[in-house]
A and B are shown apart, each in its own frame.
Chain A
Amino acid sequence: MRKLFIICCIMLFLVSCSQEKERTPLSQNLRFLLPSEPSILDPNQISESYASVIVANTFEPLVMIDKENNLMPAAAESWEIQNNNSEYIFHLRKDAKWSNGDTVTASDFKNSFMRIMITSETNGSYLAGLIKNGQAYYESNLETGLGIEVLDEFTLKITTESPTPFFLEVLTFSGFVPVHNFVQDNVATDWAKNPDKAVSNGPFKLVSYEKGKFIRVEKNPYYWDAEAVKLDSIDFMFRNDNSDMMSMYTNKVIDGIYEITPFELKMIPDSEAVTHMDMLGSTAYIAFNHESELFRHFQMRQVIALALDRDVIVEDVLKGAGIASSYFVPFNYKIEGVNFRDYTVLNTEQNLNKARTLLQEMKEANVDTSKSVNIYYKLNGPDGETAQFLSEQLNRDLGLNTQAKGLEWDELYDLTMNGAYDLLLLGWVADYPHPLSFLGTFGKNGVISKMIRWYDTSYDLMADAFFKNLHSSNSLEHLRSMEDIILNGYHIVPLYYRKGLSLIDWHLKDWYRNSSSVYIFKEAYFDQ
């Protein structure tokens, strides 16, 4: 009797217990897969666009681009623009702190900008070109009259060489951030990878670095806006050849992928729902080595330009992850209120017949067009399938002998800088939202000019004229004519404007990718 009663009680208890369930709180740790391991993390010297993601979330420039692509105050609380856009006075936040607790001062910015001019050939020369007497400092270390002044601990004044209405946009570049005092005179960059030394002024700070695998940043408790930062940490993981993105994503080893191709996307089930397609300030283009036997000929470059079928590339190969265009500067920018680019005039038509005629002319002029040509592209990037398609199309339609060949970035960079190539398929990503971020890559210090080995003094003169505001036409026309020089000479052949395909767990909210294609995770958080 009593036993029966006890058994009944136990059964009742078990039945009532089985109802309860527990929920585990969501961890605020983002695991984000980068296409590869950045070679440099020193913000004053970065070159890879994916390194900017790390820098942009650990360091803070004076001014930033917000979700809606407008300028917003960052390390500078406010600013005044005087003297016809040539004097910029920045009022720094008094509560802005380094991740070690030190105060961020105007001197930090001054010293860092000077450090950029000394240590970075490309970004440094660009900055030097804008700042008053910067060129003299860049070339011969002359500090006299340099247009960067510390008015007091929290006030910085920058004077430009000439009126520069887009100077604030330039300062949004993730490389134009301050570095702490202790690295000022240090040309070495490895401090930025050392958790003990990597002091930063942004929402997150570096806490560990595992070479070849990942870096981890954690919330910076000293950040002035730390309350707005909701993620505890971010693991930036590096993709390598063995990474199986599909299984990493479906097994929830990663929460997001920086960059993915439409082809890879197809392999991930239900990816449509988590795919983000952002129009980037980025243009894919073919670069010709002007010292190459084949492509030093203007006509040969023209042949390629005319034979391309950009629309097919965008529709079939990229599945819409781009907008076909024959222009280099994308249409993200306005100059004095006018769109720099018109979507309806992108001139993407193919002219195969003309291309064939020109090629025939080349052959008759004894140019060996049957020479084997590699179309190089960066592995683990968005260009593999395009390069493959291009190679097949050119071989089929023109009878050329091309092969698509992917290389790791460092290899590709060496090869490019040594001029040991014929054709490259690359993309240029804007550093800041202005056409000059594209046009500035040509000319005596331009990085693309260096790669393709083409320099033109008339282009340099036009660039100088723009900087010194000495051009006759309006700024828009002047910049467009600069672009015309590049395009009419077929020095490079733009293919399309890139849309960034990325995969991010839909539970992650309040992140954005700015018009310089940099992911900002400052206010991001996981929502159940």
Chain B
Amino acid sequence: MNIRRKIGLSLALLSLFTGILMVLVTNVLSRSILKDRSESFLASILTENAYNLNLQMRAVEQVTTALLDDVQLTYNFQSNDDYREIYLSKIKTVVKIASELSPSKSAFLMFFDHKEDFVWYADINYNGVPEENFVNDRVDQYEKLDFSKGSIWYVDEIEKTVSYLSPLYNGDTLVAIVGNDMNFNMIEYRLNLSKYLSSGYLYLKDENGNVIYHPKSDLSRPGKMTTDEDFEIVADQGAVTGNHRLVNNWIVSLSIDSDEIYAGLDFLTLMTIIIILVSLIIVLIYSVMFSNRIGKPYVYLAEQVEDVGHGNYDIELDKDYFQRSDEIGILTRALDAMIQKQKESFQEIQQYNVNLEQKVQARTEELIEANDALEASFEEVEAQKSALMESNHKLAASLEEVEKTRKQLVESEKLASTRYLAIGIAHNLNTPVGNMLSVTSYIDNRIAELETKLNNNQLSKAFLTSFISNYKNASKSVTVSLETSKVLIDRLIGLSMINVGKNTVQIEMEDVINRQFEIAKLNHPEISSNLSLMIENNIAFNGDLDAFSQMIYELLDNAFIHGYQESELLMIQIVVYESKIEKDTIVIEFSDNGKGVTKDVLDEIFTPLYTSQLSSRHGLGLATVLNLITQQFNGTIEAHVNNGLTFIIQLKNKEV
């Protein structure tokens, strides 16, 4: 099926579908609108009329009830006929007032046992004023009614009256009724006022659905209400009926024939169908023409495109289509352009194929070149590597030189030490030797004087005594100087005689240190001092006991001599613990609260015969300590100034 037929067929189908839909929608919508309108109209007419009827009925009921109450209260039931006559004449006013209050302008009181005994007011002349009236024949009718459920509404179909009747009992005996005629003319008049279309009349039914009144009795539709609500709309028996319940359970209704409601609807449907058929024919004719005009160029173009698809690019498109200004023109021109483009592209692709091989060749050559360059750079890297290795060797050589230089430096340091030692020895020996020289020279002079006196016989006992005394003194002075020199020499010998570990024992450090402190204290009785000693638990140290004792003593002695500040308590703290860094090593932290030393002094502190108190001591203590530590215990010592002076000593443990 080509496009021309498709377009034609779809147009025809579309118009058919639209037509059917239109018929349906108009039908449903109009039906629903008609139904809705009718129902709301029904509801509003019924509600309004029911409200007005209710008002009147309520008023009638209220007036009657009030009248009944009055009679019940005022009537003496034990009375006789005479009494009743007086009573009726008295109650007349009350009944008359009741009738005036009633919307129907009527009220009555009627005794049964004596049918002449009643008082009756009604608006007979319809002038709005109740008049006294006599309606004898009703007594017989009312007597037969069933009042067992109390007050009732009663319809006299012949007389066309609607009455509300309330019974008055004396015990179980029905004595009288009070009542009120509702003006039926008024009800009729009201019901006749409203009418809807030709069949919609308002009418009245009792609670059982029997029609009480209908303006056109042949149209009446009896039927109970189907709901407990006060209002309902039901659709059956070919009619839509609205029912509204009244206070006395009567029903005011309005029925409209369904045919009448939807009367216009069939015509509407017919007209719609005709319109649709006509439009369908028009659509068919038009679609044939239209599909021809629209479809033909597409069919032509499709054929051309198919040709192109088979690789035939030499096509001449129809000039007529080419010049058209509509979409066909655009399509034709576009197709032409496409064919041209296709042609060009085909040629270009052929050209490309030729070029491609040449390009691959060129590229291969370029790659080989790049490979060569890469190899050359590899060699360069190799050369750089060997140069680096060479310079590495040079560095190692220079390191050896540095080591050599360092050794030289140590040697020169030793020289410096020796110089200090020489200066120290000279300094320390200078005084005693000088003393001895001057004493011996003085002695010589005195001996020469003695000799002269002896030779000249001038020697006196006094002179001799003085001479002996002087000589003794001089001898004593020489002895002191010699002893001083001897001490110095002994110590120098001691310093040189420190030998590596003769007796290695386990040292009881606490005992040793305390003992040495006692000795130091004895040697410096003028200084008050205090030792605080802390030794880590379970710590054992093996080494030469004498060396250790001497080291401790020298440190303490140094503290007493150099650390002591006048009139202060010398506080010495010694803490001993195992090194956490070096294996088999103990650390002794020795500190005092003394005056410390300056930076210059600190640098020379371990130099032999260097002392901060020139001439007061020999400057050998700390040098001895250093020697002992390095040689006996293979350890180290550092000094820090921290308030006083602190030494941190590390000693290596030896095997026993």
A→B interface (CB under 8 Å): 1, 4-5, 8, 11-12, 15-16, 18-19, 270, 272-279, 311, 314-315, 319-320, 323, 331-332, 339, 342-344, 346, 499, 506, 528
Q: Which of chain B's residues have a CB closer than 8 A to the CB of A279?
A: 69-70, 73
Q: Which of A8, A11, A311, A323 contacts B74 (CB 8 A)?
A: A323
Docked pose: A8 CA to B17 CA in angstroms: 13
Given contacts A1-B14, A19-B36, whether A343 and B87 have CB atoms under 8 Å apart is yes
Known contacts A272-B101, A319-B101, A331-B73; is-contact A314 B58 (Cβ 8 Å): no
Q: Does B75 contact A (CB under 8 A)?
A: yes
Q: Give complex CA distance A270, B59 in Å.
A: 8
A315 touches B55 (CB 8 A): no
Residue B76 at the chain A interface, CB threshold 8 Å: yes
Which residue of chain A has its CB nearest to the CB of B56? A273
Q: Does B495 contact A (CB under 8 A)?
A: no
Contact A273 B55 (CB under 8 A): yes
- Residue of B36, B83, B101, B103 near A18 (CB, 8 A) is B36
* B21 beta carbon closer than 8 Å to chain A: yes
- Which residues of the other chain, A, contact B93 by a CB distance below 8 angstroms? 311, 314-315, 320
Nearest chain B residue, comparing its CB with the CB of A318: B97
* A320 CA to B14 CA, complexed, in Å: 80
A273–B54 alpha-carbon span in the complex (Å): 8
Instruction: Determine the interface band of chain B, counting residues with CB < 8 A from chain A.
Output: 35 or more
A331 lies within 8 A of B247 (CB)? no
Collect the chain A residues with CB atoms within 8 Å of residue B102's CB: 272
CB distance A272 to B76 under 8 Å? Answer: no
Q: Does B498 count as interface, using CB distance less than 8 angstroms?
A: no
Given contacts A15-B29, A273-B54, contact A343 B62 (CB under 8 A): no
What is the count of residue pairs linking A and B with beta-carbon distances less than 8 angstroms?
A: 87
When chains A and B are docked, how far (Å) is the Cα of A311 from the Cα of B92? 12
The answer on a CB contact under 8 Å between A343 and B58 is no
Residue B363, interface by CB 8 Å: no
Partner of A344 from B63, B90, B100, B247 at Cβ < 8 Å: B90
Q: How far is the CA of A508 from the CA of B26 in the complex (A)?
A: 48
The answer for the CA separation of A499 and B67 in the assembled complex, in Å, is: 11
B98 lies within 8 A of chain A by Cβ:
yes
Q: Considering the chains assembled together, what is the distance between the CA atoms of A106 and B91 in angstroms? A: 48
Chain A residue with the shortest CB-CB distance to B101 = A272
Interface digits, B75-113 against A, CB 8 Å rule (1 contact, 0 not)? 110000001001100110110011011110000000000
Please list 6 pairs of residues, one from A and one from B, whose beta carbons are closer than 8 Å in the complex, sorted by A's number: A12-B29, A273-B56, A274-B62, A278-B69, A331-B74, A344-B83
B508 sits at the interface (CB 8 A): no
Chain A residues near B62 (CB-CB < 8 A): 272-277
B32 within 8 A of A: yes
Q: How far is the CB of B9 from chain A (nearest CB, A)?
A: 16
B residues near A (Cβ < 8 Å) are 14, 18, 21, 25, 28-29, 32-33, 36, 54-59, 62-63, 66, 69-70, 73-76, 83, 86-87, 90-91, 93-94, 97-98, 100-103, 230, 247
**A303 CB to nearest chain B CB (Å):** 25
A528: chain B residues within 8 A (beta carbon): 230
The 8 Å CB contact of B21, one of A8, A276, A323, A506, is: A8
Expressed in whole angstroms, the minimum distance between the Cβ of A361 and any Cβ of chain B is 32
Expressed in whole angstroms, the Cα–Cα distance for A300 and B251 within the complex equals 61
- In the complex, the answer to whether A320 meets B97 with C-beta atoms within 8 Å is yes
CA distance A343 to B77 in the complex (A): 12
Q: Would you list the 7 A-B pairs with minimal beta carbon distance, nearest first? A: A320-B97, A273-B58, A343-B74, A272-B59, A277-B66, A15-B32, A273-B59
Chain B residues near A319 (CB-CB < 8 A): 97, 100-101
B29 touches A323 (CB 8 A): no
Instruction: Please indicate the chain B residues that have their CB under 8 angstroms from the CB of A344 in the complex.
Output: 76, 83, 86-87, 90
Q: Within 8 Å CB of A16, what residues of B?
A: 32
Complex CA gap A276/B54 in Å reads: 16
Rounded to whole angstroms, the CA-CA distance of A4 and B103 in the bound complex is 59
Whether A11 contacts B76 by the Cβ 8 Å rule is no
- Asked if B55 contacts A270 (CB within 8 A), the reply is yes
Cβ contact within 8 Å between A12 and B28: yes
CB distance from A332 to the nearest CB of B (A): 7
Q: Which residues from B are CB-within-8-Å of A339? A: 76
CA A344 to CA B78, docked complex, whole Å: 13
> A497: shortest Cβ distance to chain B, in Å?
9
User: Complex Cα distance A276/B58, Å?
Assistant: 11
Q: How many Å from the CB of A283 to the closest CB on chain B?
A: 14
Which residues of A sit under 8 angstroms from B33, Cβ to Cβ?
A: 15
Instruction: Evaluate contact between B103 and A272: CB separation under 8 angstroms.
Output: yes
Contact B21 A342 (CB under 8 A): no
Chain B's closest residue to A528 (CB) is B230
A474 to chain B, nearest CB (A): 17
Query: In the complex, which residues of chain B have a beta carbon less than 8 angstroms from the beta carbon of A332?
Result: 73
**Cβ-defined contact, B76 with A506, below 8 A:** no
Q: Which residues of A contact B70 (CB under 8 A)?
A: 279, 323, 499
Residues of B within 8 A of A18 (CB): 36
Nearest-neighbor residue (CB-CB) of B83 within chain A = A344
Assembly CA distance A272 to B52 (angstroms)? 12
Known contacts A15-B29, A275-B62, A323-B70, A343 near B76 by CB under 8 Å: yes
Bound CA span A5–B90, Å: 80
Residues on A with C-beta less than 8 A from B55 are: 270, 272-273
Set of chain B residues within 8 Å of A5, measured between Cβ atoms: 21
Task: A277 to B63: give the CA distance in the assembly, Å.
Answer: 8
Please give me the residue from chain B that is nearest to A278 by CB atom. B69
Residue of B nearest to A19 (CB): B36
Q: Which residues from chain A contact B94 at a C-beta distance below 8 Å?
A: 320, 323
Contact between chains at A272 and B63 (CB < 8 Å): yes
Closest to B103 in A: A272
The residue of chain B having its C-beta at the shortest distance from the C-beta of A270 within the complex is: B55
Min CB gap A140→B, angstroms: 43
20 additional A-B pairs beyond A8-B25, A15-B36, beta carbons within 8 Å, are A1-B14, A12-B25, A15-B28, A15-B29, A16-B32, A272-B62, A272-B63, A272-B102, A273-B55, A274-B58, A275-B62, A277-B69, A278-B69, A279-B70, A320-B97, A332-B73, A343-B90, A343-B91, A344-B90, A528-B230
